[in-house]
Amino acid sequence: MPTQTLEPEHFFKVRFDTPSSSKARIVVEAKGGPVDIYVVSDDDFLDFLGSHDVYTAKYPKQTDLETILSLGTHSWKPWHLIFENPSPDKTINVSYQVYP
């Protein structure tokens, strides 16, 4: 699984094309503390940056996550998997994988 180091109060994103099934299996492991995980369509990404109120799915305070995500109405558009470290002082290592 790819791993990314996430500094305190920072985020990183990974952009994916939608699988042909419109579903994706997401597996995440966070070491060092929980992360907030968002799934945001490409069209909504800039709005998300401004308010964090626009997203397709939200998984707050996760250290281990495995889920099947149905992308529904956004099935033909790219999307973003966003990991945010809410901690003011902890660095977190995030490992993730997305399976079609």
pLDDT tens track for 18-30: 888 888 999 999 9
Report how many domains make up the chain. Answer: 1
Domain of 24, CATH number, reads: 2.60.120.680
Region for residue 15 given its phi and psi (left: phi exceeds 0; alpha: psi -120 to 50; beta: otherwise) = beta
Q: How far apart are CA 100 and CA 71, in angstroms?
A: 11
Determine the pLDDT at residue 6.
Answer: 98
pLDDT beneath 50, residues of the chain: none
Region for residue 9 given its phi and psi (left: phi exceeds 0; alpha: psi -120 to 50; beta: otherwise) = left
Amino acid (one-letter) located at 55: Y
Determine the pLDDT at residue 73.
Answer: 60
Which structural domain range is residue 35 located in? 3-99
- Between the CA of residue 32 and those of 1, 6, 48, 58, 88, what are the distances in Å? 17, 10, 25, 20, 13
